[in-house]
Amino acid sequence: MGIEKERLHFSWISSAEATKFVDVVKEVTRIVETVGPNHKLVKKISA
Amino acid sequence: MKKSISSLVSSKGRYPWPAEQFIWDNNCRINLANYLTDRKEKIGIIAKGCDSRNIVTHIVENKIKREQIHIIGVPCNGMIDKTKISSLFDREITGYSETGDTITIKTISDEKNIHKNEVLNSNCTTCTHRNPVIYDELVADLVEEQIIEDPFPDVRRIEEMTADEKWNHFEELLKNCIRCYACRNACPLCYCPTCFVDESGPQWVGKGQDTTDVRTFHYLRAYHCAGRCTDCGACVEACPMDINVRDFTRKLNKDSLEIYGWEAGLDETKRPPLDVYSPEDPNDFIKYAGHGIL
Ligand code: SF4
Ligand code: SF4
Ligand code: SF4
């Protein structure tokens, strides 16, 4: 649909896997940052 | 004896004579399965291949019972595309007739014979289930099914685009969408009592022409049809703006086939793949599986 694949991530993380959660979030953030800010599928609501 | 439509509509009783007024030709593109949803009475229905697959889907999804319907099956060799036909003429079409596979179109200044295969609906060109999959009687002999080597060339073209190209493709596709919802209303799958676009508490999606809202409607509707769409083309047929909304559903049909070996509405005993769990379901989209993989 035109959203960069870098922005979409799936993982299974159990509530007992706090360290995994942190690692995944860091990795996801690193990858998303490579494609920069998203301007697609964003609705601009003017004040 | 012919009676007026108004007497037909106002009559409370049911008589066989209006059936004499039925016409079946190459323009019967809409999908009558759409009219079966939640009906309680006994119904006779005419079904092409694709329509019969939507009837199967309705049965699987408890929208109608098999024993309630008498299916008059029509082995089909495709319907014709009204937009392709009108694009062949500069002037308004004033006359239409067909003899076998030859379509005769008249305008005020012109008359042309066209072979129906030149103006076939695009879903019909790749259809591999032209014969009804369930029926109680058939109006004609079964037809030979098409063998299509590459059923999804259109989807592959989009898949090969970069993210920005895809974005622009859909922007262009939807630029004339007026959100009339005719596509949704014509689709047998879209039977939710309140569609998410009509919901107001919470309001999932804005109701205006904002492009993000228009896209959200189309994306979500397509996902609601994932693994259920029969590519009958009724949505496109209904669209007053000639938008090929099948660009959305066909990707999901392709994925259903490639990932789950599934085509909708072929088997009354099986539920669509996204409706059931199987340990064999592919899960290679799950990244970061297991520990220490990062
Ligand atoms: S999709 Fe198949 S069954 Fe449906 S109208 Fe086209 S050819 Fe007929
Ligand atoms: S989405 Fe369109 S092609 Fe698919 S079943 Fe509904 S009307 Fe038919
Ligand atoms: S029928 Fe066409 S114009 Fe109407 S909502 Fe669907 S795509 Fe948009």
What residue spans define the domains of chain B?
5-79+120-275, 80-119
pLDDT band at B201 (very low <50, low <70, confident <90, very high): very high
Strand arrangement, sheet containing B111-115 = B93-99, B102-107, B111-115
Give the one of A3, A11, A40 whose C-beta lies nearest to B287's C-beta: A11
- pLDDT beyond 90 at B271: yes
Q: Which ligand is nearest to the CA of B122?
A: 1
The span from the CA of B69 to the CA of B41, in Å, is 9
pLDDT tens digit sequence for B141-171: 999 999 999 999 999 999 999 999 999 999 9
pLDDT tens digit sequence for A1-47: 899 999 999 999 999 999 999 999 999 999 999 999 999 999 988 76
Q: Quick one: average pLDDT of B269-283?
A: 92
B241 CB under 6 A from ligand 3?
A: yes
The pLDDT assigned to A47 comes to: 62
pLDDT tens digit sequence for B86-128: 999 999 999 999 999 999 999 999 999 999 999 999 999 999 9
The pLDDT assigned to B10 comes to: 46
- Looking at the complex, report in whole angstroms how far the Cα of residue A36 sits from the nearest Cα belonging to chain B: 14
For residue A45, what is the nearest residue in chain B, using CA coordinates? B210
The pLDDT assigned to B141 comes to: 97
The answer to whether ipTM exceeds 0.95 is no
The count of C-alpha atoms lying within 13 angstroms of the C-alpha of B212, restricted to the half-sphere facing its C-beta, is 11
The pLDDT assigned to B287 comes to: 84
Distance from the Cα of residue B145 to its chain's centroid: 19
Query: Whose CA is closest to B101, among B74, B131, B79?
Result: B79
Give me chain A's average pLDDT, please. Answer: 92
The pLDDT assigned to B2 comes to: 46
Mutate to test the pocket of ligand 2, among B61, B231, B256 (most ligand atoms within 8 A of CB): B231
Query: Which of B214, B220, B288, B294 to mutate: most A Cβ within 10 Å?
Result: B288
B100: left (phi over 0), alpha (psi -120 to 50) or beta: left
Percent of the residues in chain A that have a pLDDT greater than 90, as a whole number = 87
SS3 call for B175: coil
Q: Which of residues 17-46 of A touch B (CB under 8 A)?
A: 17, 20, 23-24, 27, 40-43
The pLDDT assigned to B62 comes to: 97
Beta-bridge mates of residue B80: B120
pLDDT band at B67 (very low <50, low <70, confident <90, very high): very high
For residue B166, what is the nearest residue in chain A, using CA coordinates? A2
User: Contact at 8 Å (CB) between B183 and B232?
Assistant: no
Instruction: Tell if the CB–CB gap between A43 and B166 is shorter than 8 Å.
Output: no
